[in-house]
């Protein structure tokens, strides 16, 4: 398995650079017979799209996706699904000034040292624009999980800088450019972002993702655990520095008598474990939380070195998201969807003949 692929059975392969001709991907292992069209992918891509509000990068991309294979008469055939998203707005001139310098917080220095060659235009392969491939691949996984198992995967912005957002409703999430679950806080977020943009600085964010309806039994102990694969997938998203499942770091200060989720015939009475026990889904909501670092591209001048090792300064004046976390919600959902689809397939491969012996009326958390 190469570095640009992930998933054992629902396998996603990605290629493309920020200023090359196109991004593209291959989804292999999707079950046959799923009704699918480019519109299904486009819907998710549009949620991630740049230029959708003044708070995100003003790069102009339609992110139009073309499906090149794996479909016949509107249904998946079980063969590899190839798709392409052409780049449209590559202003290479924007980046010429920084080709010789390593931007702090960026992958410039590490790519240069690893490969001895670097496509500096817009971050090349390290650009967060690569996440279009994840979102497209995740759209297919989402659709299949929903239709086959009733699994629903949704995310929201949980924190922007130091502002923690209350979870009010899923409906609200899609109504504002922040994926905020709380309408009331949106004006405050807008004001904060305007000030941030003006200051030339950037900030971090927290995004929460929840998968509901996941059946009990997905995940392969001991290394191929569901939560392990989720953690790996989330940490592979650009700018992510932390991942939590369930109570996460809050579990440190919990007592065992508080943390362990009790069960009753009516279901679990809490969900500190975030829907995963021993690496296997428990039937409760799978709850994941990720930390995204502040955008590294800022207008404020910063110390660095150039490719010859001499000290210099760099300030980034291109079109950048002042908070990459704002557009991260669909990306995190997509990664969760891909991991779940992979484990759905893996589970039924090994355990297709198992009749789960215990009848639990409602294996979900009691409200």
Determine if 88 is a binding residue for a copy of itself (CB under 8 A): no
Stretch that binds a copy of itself, among 40-48, 165-173, 181-189, 294-302 (CB under 8 A): 294-302
Determine if 9 is a binding residue for a copy of itself (CB under 8 A): yes
Alpha-carbon span 237 to 128, nearest angstrom: 8
Stretch that binds a copy of itself, among 37-45, 49-57, 69-77, 184-192 (CB under 8 A): 69-77
Q: Which residue has the tokens 């927290």?
A: 206
Determine if 183 is a binding residue for a copy of itself (CB under 8 A): no
Among 39, 171, 355, 367, contact with a copy of itself (rule: CB under 8 A): 355
CB of 84 to a copy of itself, least distance (A): 7
Closest C-alpha among 163, 199, 204 to residue 184: 163
R_g over Cα of the chain: 21
Among 35, 184, 349, 366, contact with a copy of itself (rule: CB under 8 A): 349
Determine if 333 is a binding residue for a copy of itself (CB under 8 A): no
Residues 6+ apart with CB under 8 A from 256: none
Alpha-carbon span 147 to 143, nearest angstrom: 6
Q: Footprint of a copy of itself on residues 35-54 (CB under 8 A)?
A: none
CB of 207 to a copy of itself, least distance (A): 10
**Identity of the residue, 186 or 360, whose beta carbon is nearer to a copy of itself in the bound complex:** 360
CB of 295 to a copy of itself, least distance (A): 5
Determine if 155 is a binding residue for a copy of itself (CB under 8 A): no
Determine if 102 is a binding residue for a copy of itself (CB under 8 A): yes
Structure tokens at 201: 């600085």
Q: Omega of the bond prior to 222 within 30 degrees of 0, cis? A: yes
Backbone angles phi, psi at 205, to 5 degrees: -160, 165
Q: How far is CA 187 from the centre of its chain?
A: 25
Written as one string, the DSSP assignment of 19-51 is TSSEEEEEEE-PPTT-B--HHHHHHHHHHH-TT
Among 41, 56, 189, 203, contact with a copy of itself (rule: CB under 8 A): 203
Among 35, 184, 305, 366, contact with a copy of itself (rule: CB under 8 A): 305
Among 298, 332, 337, 340, contact with a copy of itself (rule: CB under 8 A): 298
Q: Are 299 and 286 in contact (CB under 8 A)?
A: no
Determine if 365 is a binding residue for a copy of itself (CB under 8 A): no
3-state SS class at 279: coil
Alpha-carbon span 129 to 16, nearest angstrom: 9
Structure tokens at 249: 């770091």
Determine if 356 is a binding residue for a copy of itself (CB under 8 A): yes
Among 48, 49, 59, 106, contact with a copy of itself (rule: CB under 8 A): 106
Structure tokens at 5: 């692929």
Q: Footprint of a copy of itself on residues 235-264 (CB under 8 A)?
A: 235-236, 238, 241-264
Q: Which residue has the tokens 């110390």?
A: 303
Task: Mark 108-147 with x for binding to a copy of itself (rule: CB under 8 A) and - for no binding.
Answer: -xxxxxxxxxxx----xxx---x-----------------
Among 295, 326, 331, 332, contact with a copy of itself (rule: CB under 8 A): 295
Determine if 304 is a binding residue for a copy of itself (CB under 8 A): yes
347: DSSP letter: H
Alpha-carbon span 18 to 130, nearest angstrom: 7
CB of 177 to a copy of itself, least distance (A): 19
Question: 131-149 and 38-48 helices cross at what angle (nearest 10)?
Answer: 120
| Number of residues written out for the chain | 367
**Identity of the residue, 139 or 203, whose beta carbon is nearer to a copy of itself in the bound complex:** 203
CB of 325 to a copy of itself, least distance (A): 8
Per rule CB under 8 A, count of chain residues that contact a copy of itself: 166
Stretch that binds a copy of itself, among 36-44, 47-55, 181-189, 269-277 (CB under 8 A): 269-277
Task: Give, for 109, the enclosing helix (H) or strand (E).
Answer: helix 108-115
Backbone angles phi, psi at 2, to 5 degrees: -85, 170
């Amino acid at each position: 398995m190469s570095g640009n692929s992930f998933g054992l059975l629902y396998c996603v392969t990605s290629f493309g650079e920020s200023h090359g001709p196109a991004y593209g991907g291959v989804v292999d292992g999707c079950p046959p017979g799923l009704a699918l069209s480019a519109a299904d992918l486009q819907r998710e891509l549009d949620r991630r799209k740049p230029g959708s509000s003044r708070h995100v990068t003003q790069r102009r991309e339609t992110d139009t996706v073309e499906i090149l294979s794996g479909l016949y008469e509107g249904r998946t055939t079980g063969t590899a699904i190839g798709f392409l998203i052409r780049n449209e707005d590559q202003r290479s001139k924007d980046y010429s000034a920084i080709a010789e310098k390593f931007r702090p917080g960026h992958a410039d220095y590490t790519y240069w040292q690893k490969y001895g060659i670097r496509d500096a235009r817009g971050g090349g392969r390290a650009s967060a624009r690569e996440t279009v491939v994840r979102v497209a691949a995740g759209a297919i996984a989402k659709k299949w999980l929903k239709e086959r198992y009733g699994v629903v995967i949704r995310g929201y912005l949980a924190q922007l800088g130091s502002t923690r957002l209350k979870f009010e409703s899923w409906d609200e999430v899609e109504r504002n450019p922040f994926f905020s679950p709380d309408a009331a806080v949106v004006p405050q977020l807008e004001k904060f972002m305007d000030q941030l943009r003006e200051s030339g600085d950037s900030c971090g964010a927290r995004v929460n993702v929840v998968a509901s309806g996941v059946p009990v039994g997905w995940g392969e102990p001991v290394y191929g655990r569901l939560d392990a694969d989720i953690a790996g997938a989330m940490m592979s998203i650009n700018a992510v520095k932390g991942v939590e499942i369930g109570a996460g770091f809050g579990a440190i200060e919990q007592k065992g008598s508080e943390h362990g989720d009790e069960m009753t015939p009516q279901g679990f009475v809490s969900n500190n474990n975030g829907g995963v026990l021993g690496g296997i889904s428990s039937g409760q909501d799978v709850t994941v939380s990720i930390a995204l670092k502040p955008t590294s591209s800022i207008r404020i001048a910063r110390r660095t070195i150039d490719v010859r090792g001499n000290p210099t300064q760099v300030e980034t004046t291109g079109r950048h998201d002042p908070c990459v976390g704002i557009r991260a919600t669909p990306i995190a959902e997509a990664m969760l969807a891909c991991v779940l689809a992979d484990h759905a397939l893996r589970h039924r491969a090994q355990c297709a003949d198992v009749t789960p012996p215990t009848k639990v009326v409602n294996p979900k958390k009691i409200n």
